[in-house]
Structure 1
Amino acid sequence: MRTHITNIYGQSPSSTAMIAQNMVTEVAKSIGFNEIGIYSYPIHTDTPQEIRKRIDGMLAGVSNHDIVVVQLPSWNGIEFDELLINKLLGYSDIKIVVLIHDVVPLMFENNYYLMQRTIDLYNKAESIIVPSDEMLKTLKHAGLVVNSIAVQHVWDHVTNFDPKQPIFEPLINFAGSAVRFPFVQNWHSQTKLQVFSRSTISSLNEQVSYRGWLPDDDLLRQLTSGFGLVWSENIDNQSERAYSQRNISYKLSTYLAAGLPVIVNKGISNQSFITENNLGMIASSLSEIDQLIAHTTEEQYQDMANHVRQVGYLIRQGYFTKKVLIDTIHQLLTC
């Protein structure tokens, strides 16, 4: 018996989807998993037979009785994901675990028609790893019937970087697309906003500065003061705010790995995790940020930073991912 995990390649170096799957795979490999590489490509250029041949090559190291963790979506389309899962089901006594990063029908309104196919795909697994308790409720309401469930709660951000104690100042750091998150263009706060993004869009507020996209280690070194911001707004075809109540944010883990306390929108899926561990502050609207920071003392900030340092160590070492994978394998083999 061997354990395997899928991992995507071929996307942009700044693709959060690929970065997250690569990170999970590296953690899994550290505890004995074998990697199954999946390259992102336009599958509609292939016939179903050609796709099956590609999948045969990907699964060359898989045998009967193995355990395979499939990170979904593969971003090659649900047709590819269905063919992959169905191929795995052809192995004798195979145990399939679906590790959900995103649920495409919930991300994009015009893809909701794929919800039933997505649930049917999940139901073929023996075990599911979901991002949050709220996502689990949503999927069960849509028809998920898998009994073996584990909850990720927070992503890791594995790195050798060791942050220094952050500096308290009225500064907001935001790592994300200025196009996908339009509040960047309409920043009205007096608090400075530092944006790390490939997109540079003019802002009416001189408090906004663009730092460009940075490789991971460089970004972590720049996050040395103020707060990290996790914020979602609804945009065309994407109900980002509702989705943030179900998924978990990779940028949250980036800030915590860098040692920064955070400010997050109320209702975020891991709000209780943030408040119970004193990792930052919750805001109902961006208009509250100036007052939140104005009423925060140096002592309160450093107390949050000390708690962040403890949780950040777990995140940088991959302990949340190790735990959810080990718990899942243990449940599969002992029930």
Structure 2
Amino acid sequence: MTQYYLSKNYNVLNNAGNKAKTDIEEILSKLGYKNAGLPQTTYSNKIAGFLITLAGVLKVLFTISANNVVVVQYPFKKYYSFVCNIIHLKRGKVITIIHDLGTFRSKKLTAEQEIKRLSHSDVLIVHNNRMKEWMESQGYTQPMVCLEIFDYLSPSVNNNTHEPNQKPIKVIYAGALNYRKNKYLYSLNDVMSKWQFELYGKRFEEDKIKDKTLFKFKGFVPSDQLIEQVSAHFGLIWEGDSIHTCSGDLGIYQKINNPHKASLYIRCNLPIIIWKEAALASFVAENKIGVCIDSLEELDSILSSISAESYNEMVRNIKEINKKIASGYYCKRAVENAESLLQLT
């Protein structure tokens, strides 16, 4: 059995989605997988990117043979069904790793269309049990494996100490900061007094904040640099308009999705604050690496009541998970489990 992955053109590498995909390519390469397409490129020109990716897909016709296994990362633009058909035509097998579901993220596919498309895969690697259950509820019948959490490769190391009794308690958020995307950020003034918010990203609309002393806007910082520099107590995962619950399309998506920023926070050795209804909340709770909340209104009382012993235990546990995601542990395990489910003839 020869094992392959399929690379493509990535127009930017500091995008969270592309970072996750290029990390998986690197992990697969270390596992002995070969690239079935053309070498990875980073052309920003859309036409050049389209042609290079298409040429890589067509190269699969001449690379794959019977009983070969190809890992395809999803979504793969317009090529996904086509490349799966090519692999099956050559009597190979497809393992698909899901990054995003169009039914939720882009709203460009119905659930029925997405299930039909993903049914081209022989084995599917989904984010977590919630996503697996959703796939099954929509009629998906192929074998599935759960990733649990995304790995995050980086040579950077965070050696900053986070004293639990240090005041103010610092919470960071890394991501989209504009009012339209995350309106909740601009309502936090009403419910926070015992902690300070540090924001990393672009398009923060500072003029909409009432009390600026509780906010520190750090701007966009590349992830490798962020991992080294951040000195805080927690990383927040929250989406939507409301401080009371994760709302809107992205809030609903949290119920089945593994946000890549969780892995970034872990690489920063930051315990996680996450919505109780989020799919990743069970991972946080089971591994004792953070706190799960119903509403951001709770944070003042919750953060001030965490003992030094409890916080230090979270940090110790985070450091153990950090070692795993820095080494590609979760991807390796999921791919090996997926391989064991393939029926090769």
Q: TM-score, normalised to structure 1's length?
A: 0.88
Partner of 1:73: 75
1:131-156 per-residue CA deviation (whole Å, 9 max, x = no partner) reads 1111111111112110x221011111
Please give the root-mean-square deviation of Cα atoms over the aligned residues, in Å: 2.6
Say whether residues 1:97 and 2:101 are aligned partners. Answer: no
Q: Distance in 2 between matches of 1:214 and 1:133?
A: 32
Match for residue 155 of structure 2?
160
Runs (5+) with no aligned partner, structure 2:
none
Which letter does structure 2 place at the counterpart of 1:98? T
2:27 corresponding residue in structure 1: 27
Contact 2:200–2:217 (Cα < 8 Å) also in 1: yes
Distance 2:344 2:162 in 1: 44
Q: How do residues 203-214 of structure 1 correspond to structure 2 at under 5 angstroms? A: 203-206=209-212, 207-214=214-221
Identity within the alignment, %: 19
Partner of 2:300 in structure 1? 290
Of 193, 196, 206, the residue aligned with 1:192 is 196
Counterpart of 2:128, as a letter, is S
Deviations, residues 64-100 of structure 1 (Å, cap 9, x unaligned): 32101110002x2xx32222222222212x1111111
Task: Say which of 267, 273, 286 aligns to 1:257.
Answer: 267
Tell me the residue number matched to 2:126.
130
| TM-fit CA distance, 1:212 | 1.5
Give the C-alpha shift of residue 60 in structure 1: 4.4
CA, structure 1 residues 304+11, in 2 after alignment: closer, same or farther (shift >3 Å)? same
Match of 1:187, SS state, is helix
Residue ranges of structure 1 left out of the alignment (5+ in a row):
none
Q: Does the aligned pair in 2 maintain the 1:187–1:208 contact within 8 Å?
A: no
Shift of residue 51 of structure 1?
8.4
Q: Give the 3 Å change call, closer, same or farther, for CA 12–46 of structure 1 in structure 2.
A: closer
Matched positions, count: 324
Secondary structure of the structure 1 residue equivalent to 2:253: helix
Task: Please tell me whether residue 171 in structure 1 is matched to residue 170 in structure 2.
Answer: yes
The 1:234/1:104 distance shift into structure 2, 3 A limit, reads: farther
Do the aligned residues in 1 keep the contact of 2:274 with 2:292 (CA within 8 Å)?
Answer: yes
CA, structure 1 residues 220+28, in 2 after alignment: closer, same or farther (shift >3 Å)? Answer: same
The Cα offsets for residues 150-182 of structure 1, whole Å up to 9 and x where unpaired, read as 101111112233333433341111110113322
Runs of 4+ in structure 1 over 4 Å off: 37-43, 50-54
Q: Decide which moves more: 119-128 or 3-12.
A: 3-12
Paired residue secondary structure (1:193): strand
| Aligned-partner residue type, residue 57 of structure 2 | I
Q: How does 1:1-335 map to 2 (within 5 A)?
A: 1-35=1-35, 36=37, 55-57=57-59, 60-74=62-76, 76=77, 79-92=78-91, 94-109=92-107, 111-113=108-110, 115-146=111-142, 148-164=143-159, 165-168=161-164, 169=166, 170-179=169-178, 180-188=181-189, 189-190=192-193, 191-202=195-206, 203-206=209-212, 207-233=214-240, 239-332=249-342
Distance 1:297 1:122 in 2: 46
C-alpha displacement of 1:326: 1.2
